[in-house]
Amino acid sequence: MSRDSSPVRATSRRPPARSPLQVAERVARVVRPEIREVSSYAVPKADGMIKLDAMENPYPLPASVRERLGAALARVAVNRYPDGGADAVRDALRRRLEIPAECGVLLGNGSDELIQIIASALAGEGATMLAPDPSFVMYRRSALIAGMHFVGVALKRDFSLDLPAMLEAIEREQPALIFIAYPNNPTGNLWPSRDVEAILSAATGLVVVDEAYYAFADASFLSAVGREPNLLVLRTVSKVGMAGMRLGYAVAVPEWIAELDKVRPPYNVNALTQAAALALLEDASWIAEQSAAIRAERTRLESALRRLTGTTVFPSQTNFVLVRVADASALFEALRARRILVKNLHGWHPLLAQCLRITVGTPEENDALLAACADLCR
């Protein structure tokens, strides 16, 4: 045995032993208590399952679009940093959405990142974020991460917006930031536009109208951006077939965008995403066709779920359906045993008791779900 491989020497080269307790103490000393208290955002594994839990578009890319994507990705210079401003992608979005030239556009690694960027920029001493409750969970979490005070204003029992309560909370809290999911996740409904206008008039800070589900809804605030000085419209390509690409965008008057851009990490939209976005948005007809198919399936799913024993189906302007059943956890588990994954919202919020959120799938996937539900809900 050579001297170098002697057990004594090998041991002496190891870093000094750390007891887990010492590490835990150090972590507890420096990591903020409110961060230590929460758990990581859990994404369930769904290998081999019919996946109806995450509001994804169930359709693959059309073959011609896939070819265009492959060719575009092959040309990417991955040895270089991406264009920090992602100018070509922003121009493509401007053209596609007819965003007026006087409005600014900010891109994010998904709209999740933009939510965090907005919260970080507005999280001044004592600043408050306000949102209807229940709504998208990342609002509250981003407030926590940014160190902002969060105030949720309870929806009514039928999930409609309690406008007097919202206006009263705005008056009382003077929030720096309001998030309005339009339509709302996880309830699926769209607030009356006059309610959102009343909130815009009452608010003294920034109002984010989050239109993640715009493709499945009958209304939008995008064209109001230039007119409303405190409005930011947030969108994502995730629900229209590109969730894996991670691209979200914010549209507001340039004064807001200029400040938010200072918080954005320099290369937050990577070169592969930029190239993919340009290739995929070159022609948007496939997006419109798939979204129309999802809307039609949503109508079919809603009426079929309504016919089952003991269900209450809430009206949806999204690509998912919220349904209250007799025992949500039992149905969730029984569906999972049949390799169908939906979202169990029971326990999330008192108003969501016994509720499941079911993403609209392909016709075949929806048939499988409906057959299983008919069997299980007798």
Q: Which stretch binds ligand PMP (CB under 6 A): 95-103, 235-243, 257-265, 280-288?
A: 235-243
Q: Which of 248, 276, 290, 368 binds ligand PMP (CB under 6 A)?
A: 248
Determine if 245 is a binding residue for ligand PMP (CB under 6 A). Answer: no
Q: Which of 72, 143, 153, 181 binds ligand PMP (CB under 6 A)?
A: 181
CB of 53 to ligand PMP, least distance (A): 11
| CB of 136 or CB of 221, closer to ligand PMP | 136
For residues 372 and 335, is the Cβ–Cβ distance under 8 A?
Answer: yes
For residue 313, give every residue at least 6 positions away whose Cβ sits within 8 Å of its Cβ, in sequence order, or none: 302, 305, 306, 321, 322, 323
Instruction: Write out the binding residues for ligand PMP, residues 127-146 only, by CB under 6 A.
Output: 136
| CB of 2 or CB of 39, closer to ligand PMP | 39
CB of 276 to ligand PMP, least distance (A): 15
CB of 186 to ligand PMP, least distance (A): 8
Determine if 212 is a binding residue for ligand PMP (CB under 6 A). Answer: yes
Q: How many residues bind ligand PMP (CB under 6 A)?
A: 13
| CB of 246 or CB of 346, closer to ligand PMP | 246
Instruction: Write out the binding residues for ligand PMP, residues 54-83 only, by CB under 6 A.
Output: 55
| CB of 82 or CB of 248, closer to ligand PMP | 248
| CB of 104 or CB of 110, closer to ligand PMP | 110
Determine if 238 is a binding residue for ligand PMP (CB under 6 A). Answer: yes
Q: Which stretch binds ligand PMP (CB under 6 A): 110-118, 193-201, 250-258, 297-305?
A: 110-118
Q: Which stretch binds ligand PMP (CB under 6 A): 107-115, 158-166, 214-222, 258-266?
A: 107-115
Q: Print the SS3 string covering the chain.
A: CCHHHCHHHHHHHCCCCCCHHHHHHHHHHHCCHHHHHCCCCCCCCCCCCEECCCCCCCCCCCHHHHHHHHHHHHCCCCCCCCCCCCHHHHHHHHHHHCCCCCCEEEEECHHHHHHHHHHHHHCCCCCEEEEEECCCHHHHHHHHHHCCEEEEEECCCCCCCCHHHHHHHHHHHCCCEEEEECCCCCCCCCCCHHHHHHHHHHCCCEEEEECCCHHHCCCCCHHHCCCCCCEEEEEECHHHCCHHHCCEEEEECHHHHHHHCCCCCCCCCCHHHHHHHHHHHCCCHHHHHHHHHHHHHHHHHHHHHHCCCCCEEECCCCCEEEEECCCHHHHHHHHHHCCEECEECCCCCHHHCCEEEEECCCHHHHHHHHHHHHHHCC
Q: Which stretch binds ligand PMP (CB under 6 A): 36-44, 109-117, 265-273, 348-356?
A: 109-117
For residues 111 and 245, is the Cβ–Cβ distance under 8 A?
Answer: no
Determine if 185 is a binding residue for ligand PMP (CB under 6 A). Answer: yes
For residue 177, list its beta bridge partners: 129, 206
CB of 21 to ligand PMP, least distance (A): 38
Q: Which of 58, 104, 110, 241 binds ligand PMP (CB under 6 A)?
A: 110
CB of 138 to ligand PMP, least distance (A): 7
* Residues of this chain that bind ligand PMP (CB under 6 A): 55, 110-112, 136, 181, 185, 210, 212, 236, 238, 243, 248
